[in-house]
A and B are shown apart, each in its own frame.
Chain A
């Protein structure tokens, strides 16, 4: 790699950290949204349940 190996390694290291950060952000966000949706559905809150309640009131 020659005299500038540290700069090349640092550039690839920075790129790897940024890519890993993006992947972790997307995966963690997906899990958080899935959990939140499951919690709501667990309480019986769905679009269908809301539509059914509106029907009952008419």
Chain B
């Protein structure tokens, strides 16, 4: 099945019927395994037991950035290639990305209080992630402000691409500025600086959260396809009634 064949709503709905439960099952297994291994791993020599928060904070942060990047690619799909599912994917991903971004901010605050002595500091990494969350909220508001899905999709695509400038700022904020937030310790030149006993469960939980995101995305896209079908039928019915 090619990427363009997926644009057929019936094919996509048929695919979603088995893909959503399969991804949800994979997410449940990976998250359970990751958390069990994570809580069995020794405590960090500096962070102590609070490093257990990293098993949710780090994957949610990766997803918050990754989902926005997916939305930016979808925005290109809407504006350049006009793929019929591009704005469906972007619209469905936005609330999920906002939720993972909120999870990043809240779990980071709960880690920061015992480690830094403060729930919040106006550090470059924390501030740029807060800006990312606000951009997500702006995108959600714009989707709700315009009724016609095609028009809304194009307006949101432009806003998404403008907002994408914040993604490299989030990623490189710890290198460009002198921040309290630690620099990259997994995806870095020279390899990870984390001991395998902690890194392995972290990567498993990250895969679990990734599968969870995909399950939610496919399910939300199926809902959006149904919503557009209902809208079309209502328009046809009102046109006939005139």
Contacts and interface: CB of A to CB of B under 8 A. Distances in A.
A29 B229 CA distance: 14
B54 to A, nearest CB: 10
Interface string A1-45: 111110110111011001101110110011001101100100101
Contacts of A3: 114
Contact of A26 (B100, B113, B216): B216
Given A10-B110, A22-B99, A4 B220 contact: no
A11 B56 contact: yes
Q: Per DSSP, are chain A's interface residues mostly helix, strand or loop, or mixed?
A: helix
B222 interface: yes
Interface residues of B, number: 37
A30 B223 contact: yes
A8 B52 contact: yes
Interface residues of A, number: 32
Interface string B97-118: 0011011001100110110000
B81 to A, nearest CB: 26
A7 B50 contact: yes
Contact of A53 (B114, B219, B240): B240
Interface string B196-227: 00000000000000001000100110110011
A37 to B, nearest CB: 6
Contacts of A33: 223, 226-227, 230
Contact of B49 (A5, A14, A53): A5
A30 B219 contact: yes
Contacts of A7: 50, 53, 110-111, 113-114
A50 B236 contact: yes
B53 A37 contact: no
Nearest to B108: A11
Contact of B107 (A14, A21, A29, A40): A14
A58 interface: no
Given A8-B52, A11-B56, A30-B223, 17 more contacts: A2-B48, A4-B48, A4-B114, A5-B49, A8-B49, A11-B57, A15-B103, A22-B96, A22-B216, A26-B219, A30-B219, A30-B226, A37-B229, A40-B237, A46-B233, A50-B240, A53-B240
Interface of A: 1-5, 7-8, 10-12, 14-15, 18-19, 21-23, 25-26, 29-30, 33-34, 36-37, 40, 43, 45-47, 50, 53
Interface of B: 43, 48-50, 52-53, 56-57, 60, 95-96, 99-100, 102-103, 106-107, 110-111, 113-114, 212, 216, 219-220, 222-223, 226-227, 229-230, 232-234, 236-237, 240
- Nearest first, the 3 closest Cβ-Cβ pairs linking A and B are A33-B226, A11-B110, A4-B114
